[in-house]
Structure 1
Amino acid sequence: MFPEKVYYEPDALSYKLGQALKKKYSEVPWVPVESHNRIDELRTQPNSAFRDLKRLLIVGVRKTHRYVPNAKTSDFLVPYTSSGCSAMCLYCYLVCNYNKCSYLRLFVNREEMLEKLKRTALRAERDLTFEIGSNSDLVLENTVTHNLEWTIERFAEQEKGFITFPTKFSMVEPLLPLKHHGRAIFRMSVNPQEVIRTIELGTSPLKQRIHALNQMADAGYRTGLLIAPVILLDDWKKQYLELLETLSSELSERAKRGIGIEVIFMTYSYVHRAINTEGFPKGPDLFDSGRMTGRGKGKYCYRPEVRAEAEEFLRLEIEKRFGPSSILYIV
């Protein structure tokens, strides 16, 4: 059962969404807390409890609404209706921000967040693109709150600006009939199936992700593709070559038409290693001393010469299948 328990800020129950969640999950314990950001009984849990923490749900009111300028596929990163996730990817960048407390947090003041989004879009001199899924997977969250469905149609009504969000999940059926007016950009994150099976725990299989991307393209959404994060295992060339062959053969022509591809190499950290060692003792060790080097406090990235080889390989193979202008960026 998910969730096994809900921790909530009492103020959250003064919002319609908070009341709806209380009714939806009335059969599990609800524990009041002062702040969704500081739940001491969870923060003090050992790393070995990471899996158990992922079965909890936190309900609160978002207080931070500062937009962060972005220079990749959007103009701004927007704090939106959730943070964290119930999946357990062993490299998850949210772990760097939240440590073991990267569980799913839902924020019930969605009207306030959407109004700021629409107001910012309307005041701009040009169409702005807002990344609303940088802190969570909104397709996964949508199975709990229906917030993504709620957002897409309401944002698209004004016909100015774009929202975009990435996902590792295939549950897109509720999004297909929406009147999005081309204002929502759907981006699917992919990896070789063996990486998904052993490292991206609790996410949708590759075949289902590809099918979901095709569905969204057929529904008229603008679509994109992330190959992220690129993980250089011993047989990485073989795995990523197979991935690209699968994408080339199974993505529909409509999905491939004008698709933009983002390529992001994995950054790992001491925090990841500590949690994975204790929480997933039989899982793969993603730290590779032969290929990695230090990057800032407690973080690791691939050595420049290793990264350069992999980038050259991926660029060549992607452009061979999807065209020379298909890659938006590689980082």
Structure 2
Amino acid sequence: MLQIRRIYAEEAALALPRGQDIVARWPEAEIVPVASHWLIPEVHGDETNVSRWVRIKTEALVLGVKKSLTTRLNGRSADFIAPSTANGCAMACAYCYVPRRKGYSNPITVFANIEQITAHLARHIHKLGPKHEPNQCDPEAWVYDIGENSDCSADALVSDNVRDLCDLFRMSPTAKASFATKYVNRDLLDWDPLGRTRIRFSLMPQAIAKVTDIRTSPIADRIAAINDFVDAGYEVHVNFSPIILTPDWLTAWGELLTQLADGLHVRAKAQLAAEVIFLTHNEQLHEVNQGWHPKAEQLLWRPDLQEPKLSQNGALNVRYRRDLKAGAVESFRGLVARLLPECTIRYAF
């Protein structure tokens, strides 16, 4: 997954204990000083890097300091979005929204000021106190998404940041950590989270994942890991995401749901819940993908099925037409009810 040869590092990050720990993991790597983790043209921000996309993700790591520590309201995957301890990813999913913000090669950037981040979260959790009313995020605990712009399972290969966060929530009876992942990192099985960390394994039919989920764990491995993570003390949900409409999409998802139903033990099914997210794509990302993975765009870019959508940050995206999507959502809900009735759908859009 990672063969780090260059670490682009802010001076302030190198001075921190976590920064020194990260550098020590790759003693042969070249340390390249940078003024800002956001401004590294040879790594991100230069679309001509598209032909080197995966190589950059494999060989480059960025080390910085998180300047702004804010916890934001969410209400979908979680009650709150925690400050990032990393952004970017070692994987290269063709539909990923994160590169639109940072640049298209988008390797892992890890933040070394973990003590400041955990202290901020501890204060936020303490100030909130108990959760008195259930909601779709959780009936009892405040849920904090700790991996909005990265994959925490992969981040845990780079530093102990994710473990430090999970340890914080392990000792927080009123709150839970949550993150989505497409990578099975079995080292996490030894962490003993005491039910205070929710892992959401993202799933889709393997034939689609083979084209769009580049450098991720196979779908069968993700499904096989669910029982083990439940047994290890995690709450495990699934993300059916993104749902990509193809001529046989319902048949393919039916096969996946059957595979999931057959593979989960009783305790895993009893605590299972899902988020359902249909594909949203982006014209600029489409153009970049054409330079490195046009086969994926045959699935993702469907002007005959899609309509423009203005995102909250002002970007022009495309999504499936409302009339088409409404029917697809209902069809998918019915499929889950029939093939995996134990699974609660927390939301679908």
Fold shared by both chains (TM-score > 0.5)? yes
2:263 is aligned with 1:272? no
Higher deviation after alignment, 178-187 or 12-21: 178-187
2:257 is aligned with 1:256? no
Which amino acid counterpart does residue 148 of structure 2 have in structure 1? S
SS of 1:295's equivalent?
strand
Paired residues of 1:159 and 1:181 also in contact (CA < 8 A): no
> Where does the alignment leave 5 or more consecutive residues of structure 1 unmatched?
none
2:309 is aligned with 1:295? yes
> Where does the alignment leave 5 or more consecutive residues of structure 2 unmatched?
132-141
| Structural mapping, 1:209-224, within 5 Å | 209-224=222-237
Partner of 1:305: 323
Paired residues of 1:67 and 1:79 also in contact (CA < 8 A): yes
Partner of 2:134: none
**What is the CA distance between 1:99 and its match in structure 2?**
3.3
Partner of 1:156: 170
Paired residues of 1:176 and 1:219 also in contact (CA < 8 A): yes
Partner of 1:197: 210
* Superimposed CA distance per residue, residues 152-173 of structure 1 (whole angstroms, 9 cap, x where no aligned partner): 12332243311111111111x3
Query: How high is the TM-score relative to the length of structure 2?
Result: 0.89
**What is the CA distance between 1:45 and its match in structure 2?**
4.6
**What is the CA distance between 1:187 and its match in structure 2?**
1.2
Cα distance change, pair 236–189 in 1 and its aligned pair in 2 (3 A): same
- Runs in 1 of length 4+ with deviation above 3 angstroms? 281-284
Partner of 2:344: 326
SS of 1:196's equivalent?
helix
SS of 1:72's equivalent?
coil
Partner of 1:165: 179
**What is the CA distance between 1:178 and its match in structure 2?**
2.5
Partner of 1:7: 8
Equivalent of residue 244 in structure 1, options 240, 257, 271: 257
Partner of 1:316: 334
Which amino acid counterpart does residue 53 of structure 1 have in structure 2? I
Structure 2: how far apart are the matches of 1:294 and 1:123? 41
2:62 is aligned with 1:58? yes
**What is the CA distance between 1:294 and its match in structure 2?**
1.1
Paired residues of 1:84 and 1:94 also in contact (CA < 8 A): yes
Partner of 2:123: 119
Superposition RMSD in Å: 1.8
Q: Number of paired residues?
A: 330
Cα distance change, pair 274–50 in 1 and its aligned pair in 2 (3 A): farther
Which amino acid counterpart does residue 264 of structure 1 have in structure 2? I
Structure 2: how far apart are the matches of 1:218 and 1:325? 18
Structure 1: how far apart are the matches of 2:296 and 2:309? 24
Higher deviation after alignment, 178-187 or 56-65: 178-187
**What is the CA distance between 1:93 and its match in structure 2?**
1.4
Equivalent of residue 46 in structure 2, options 44, 47, 68: 44
Structure 1: how far apart are the matches of 2:294 and 2:281? 17
Which amino acid counterpart does residue 70 of structure 2 have in structure 1? R
Which amino acid counterpart does residue 286 of structure 2 have in structure 1? R
| Structural mapping, 1:88-107, within 5 Å | 88-107=92-111
Paired residues of 1:269 and 1:300 also in contact (CA < 8 A): yes
**What is the CA distance between 1:19 and its match in structure 2?**
0.6
SS of 2:169's equivalent?
helix
2:242 is aligned with 1:229? yes
* Superimposed CA distance per residue, residues 47-75 of structure 1 (whole angstroms, 9 cap, x where no aligned partner): 33323332321111111212120111311
